[in-house]
Amino acid sequence: MPVRIWRKPLDTDKVKVPEGEVHIIKSRCKGCGFCIEFCPKEMLETSEEFNERGIHPPKVKDKSVCALCSFCEAVCPDFAIYSVKKECKDGC
């Protein structure tokens, strides 16, 4: 559809999408699922492991797509997940 082409911002090649790294404090997770449900990249999923509460904390499905939107960090009620800028070797 023609609209697709126009949606790409003109300065796309100049602007670098940030790369983020998600950290999970597994012991704090209460399993609400907000981070998994609302991650725009759908990069989180429920893990198989248990924490002390008997909850399956989230785990990163695909760490390459994190754009550091930090929505998981903002929407977590338990301070159990946060994202940091990825350290890149070649300078991002």
Residues that bind another protein (CB under 8 A): 23-26, 28, 30-34, 37-38, 55, 71, 73-80, 82, 84
**Residue number with CB closer to another protein (25 or 65):** 25
**Residue number with CB closer to another protein (17 or 79):** 79
Q: Under a CB-based contact definition with an 8 Å cutoff, are residues 18 and 85 in contact?
A: yes
Find, among 77, 90, 68, 88, the residue nearest to 23 by Cα: 68
**Residue number with CB closer to another protein (14 or 20):** 20
Residue 77 CB, nearest approach to another protein (Å) = 3
**What burial class does residue 72 get, using C-beta atoms within 10 Å of its C-beta: 0-12 exposed, 13-18 middle, 19+ buried?**
buried
